[in-house]
């Protein structure tokens, strides 16, 4: 299995663009988030937030910056306040069992589904959700989810893909659809 530090390195290689930063998560900030959201955050998410330089390019903050609109508590609060009409009545737009973990660009949200906790691993399935559509599962756990992001952002050939393939052979989990894309 990969050392936990490989995923942040691969994430940084794959994410292009400018480096954005948040304050690193602390034990106190993680405890506050978990208490507020009512779930344990995946260890892989905390590790990525701690070690990936470009974490802020995709994910919500897990640090002490709770007042930031990009903080995981604020992102989820924003979606919790949104309501919509469904079957002639107003309902919350975001299902209560989903916790948004990314920044939700264009209202495309990747979420922990709190109803799918694996007791053996403590992991949650990752589901895609956007207002007005039913949520759908996209990954069985956080590691598979990040692996699929990396594969989607990495060209099929070249140095970025070579680095990914070198680490992938050591146990990085790739979803079934992505395995055929290896060069």
Q: Has residue 115 been placed in a domain? A: yes
Rounded CA gap, 153 and 117, in Å?
A: 27
Provide the residue range defining the domain that includes 11.
6-179
Rounded CA gap, 62 and 123, in Å?
A: 17
Q: Which residues contact 169 (CB under 8 A, 6 or more apart)?
A: none
Q: Has residue 89 been placed in a domain? A: yes
Q: For the chain, what is the domain count?
A: 1
Q: Has residue 1 been placed in a domain? A: no
Per-residue pLDDT of 28-73, as tens digits, reads 999 999 999 999 999 999 999 999 999 999 999 999 999 999 999 9
Q: Has residue 73 been placed in a domain? A: yes
Half-sphere exposure of 83 (CA within 13 A, CB side): 7
Element (H, E) at 49: helix 43-51
Q: For Cα atoms 41, 163, 149, give the angle at the middle one, nearest 5 degrees.
A: 40
Rounded CA gap, 162 and 76, in Å?
A: 36
Per-residue pLDDT of 128-175, as tens digits, reads 998 878 899 999 999 999 988 988 887 766 666 666 666 655 444 544
Task: Kindly report the pTM of this predicted structure.
Answer: 0.80
CATH number (domain holding residue 78): 3.40.1580.10
Q: Has residue 111 been placed in a domain? A: yes
């Amino acid at each position: 299995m990969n050392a936990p530090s490989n995923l942040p390195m691969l994430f940084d290689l794959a994410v292009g663009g400018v480096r954005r930063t948040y304050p690193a998560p602390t034990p106190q900030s993680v405890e506050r988030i978990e208490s507020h959201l009512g779930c344990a955050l995946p260890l892989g998410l905390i590790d990525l937030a701690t070690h990936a330089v470009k974490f802020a390019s995709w994910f919500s903050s897990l640090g002490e910056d709770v007042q930031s609109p990009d903080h995981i508590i604020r992102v989820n609060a924003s979606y919790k306040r949104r309501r919509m009409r469904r079957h002639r009545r107003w309902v919350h737009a975001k299902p209560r069992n989903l916790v948004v973990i990314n920044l939700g660009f264009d209202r495309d949200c990747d979420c922990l589904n709190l109803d799918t906790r694996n007791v053996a691993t403590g992991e949650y399935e990752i589901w895609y959700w956007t207002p007005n559509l039913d949520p759908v599962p996209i990954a069985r756990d956080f590691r598979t989810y990040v692996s699929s992001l990396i594969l989607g952002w990495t060209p099929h050939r070249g140095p970025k893909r070579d680095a990914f393939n070198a680490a992938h052979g050591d146990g990085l989990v790739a979803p079934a659809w992505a395995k055929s894309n290896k060069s």
